[in-house]
């Protein structure tokens, strides 16, 4: 695998991070940018990490949309969620260029803690099922905004999927549909502002190819996971992400 103009150790680390994140995404249908972004940001800055992951993430999303069958029906119902996500990603990408992404980490952590303790503190999310159009707009915009700034659209979409009680296959297809168009919008903004350079692409293309190869290994494990177990893992993933975001905020 060819990584130009960077030390071999750094290229090896990029490849290792990509393998780990792609395997998790293949198994759960989610998680590639969630895992890869903070790890790559330890080797470079947050903005460069997001730039390198635009193409691998979009490529993985396409495969996950097609996996599981009946994807056209899922998209026909939930396409507004992706449309609002594109708008949020556009705004978030502009914010990422203008200000530091670190400012959004505490906000995201606070939102996750609020949701995970909603029943205990009396914060109601029952309106999500009662008002589907409003909930699509709210969580689509929130997810896009988070995806554009900290490269993690997932928390807002997980909350939406859990409250709407979406089946596992539909959840994965809808998530990746939103991720793909969010990345498409983010990539367009980066190209327009001359951040998506030839050097960045020369690094991200090999990572995208590697991610696809590893992804298919994880896909073999996905069908063995029961729906209730999957939902439980999603809640645990949100809790873990909240802890990581708080730790990162304190560190920075």
Residue 195 located in a structural domain: yes
**Domain containing 56: what range?**
8-251
In a domain, 120, yes or no: yes
Q: Is residue 63 part of a domain?
A: yes
Indicate whether 2 pLDDT > 50.
no
Residue 166 CB contacts under 8 Å (≥ 6 apart), including other chains:
174
Residue 122 is predicted with a pLDDT of 44
Of the two residues 119 and 202, the one the predictor is more confident about is 202
Establish if 122 belongs to a structural domain.
Answer: yes
**Quick check: is 24 in a domain?**
yes
What pLDDT, on a 0 to 100 scale, did the predictor assign at position 19? 93
Quote the pLDDT of residue 26. Answer: 85
Domains of the chain: total: 1
Domain annotation covers residue 2: no
Residue 78 placed within a domain = yes
Over residues 181-195, the mean pLDDT reads 85
Which range of 7-21, 141-155, 170-184 scores highest in mean pLDDT? It is 7-21
Q: pLDDT of 81-131, one tens digit each?
A: 989 989 998 998 888 788 766 676 676 676 667 656 655 554 566 778 888
pTM greater than 0.75 (yes/no): no
Q: Is residue 1 part of a domain?
A: no
Confidence of residue 137 (pLDDT cuts 50, 70, 90): very high
In this predicted model, which residue has the larger pLDDT, 229 or 207? 207
């Amino acid at each position: 695998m060819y990584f130009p103009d960077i030390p071999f150790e750094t290229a090896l680390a990029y490849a290792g991070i990509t393998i780990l994140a792609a395997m998790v995404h293949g198994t759960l249908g989610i998680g590639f940018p969630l895992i890869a972004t903070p790890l790559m940001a330890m080797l470079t800055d947050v903005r460069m990490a997001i730039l390198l992951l635009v193409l691998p993430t979009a490529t993985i999303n396409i495969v996950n949309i097609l996996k599981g069958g009946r994807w056209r029906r899922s998209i026909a119902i939930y396409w507004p969620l992706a449309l609002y996500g594109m708008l949020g990603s556009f705004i978030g990408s502009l914010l990422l260029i203008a200000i530091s992404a670190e400012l959004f980490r505490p906000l995201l952590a606070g939102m996750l803690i609020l949701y995970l303790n909603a029943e205990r503190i009396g914060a109601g999310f029952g309106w999500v099922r009662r008002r589907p159009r409003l909930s699509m707009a709210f969580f689509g915009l929130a997810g896009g905004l988070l995806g554009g700034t900290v490269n993690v659209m997932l928390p807002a979409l997980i909350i939406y999927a859990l409250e709407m009680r979406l089946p596992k296959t539909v959840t994965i297809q809808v998530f990746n549909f939103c991720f793909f168009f969010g990345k498409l919008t983010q990539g367009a903004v980066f190209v327009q502002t001359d951040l998506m350079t030839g050097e960045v692409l020369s690094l991200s293309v090999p990572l995208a190819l590697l991610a696809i190869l590893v992804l298919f290994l994880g896909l073999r494990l996905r069908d063995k996971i029961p729906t209730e177990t999957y939902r439980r893992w999603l809640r645990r993933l949100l809790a873990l992400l909240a802890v990581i975001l708080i730790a990162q905020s304190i560190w920075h």
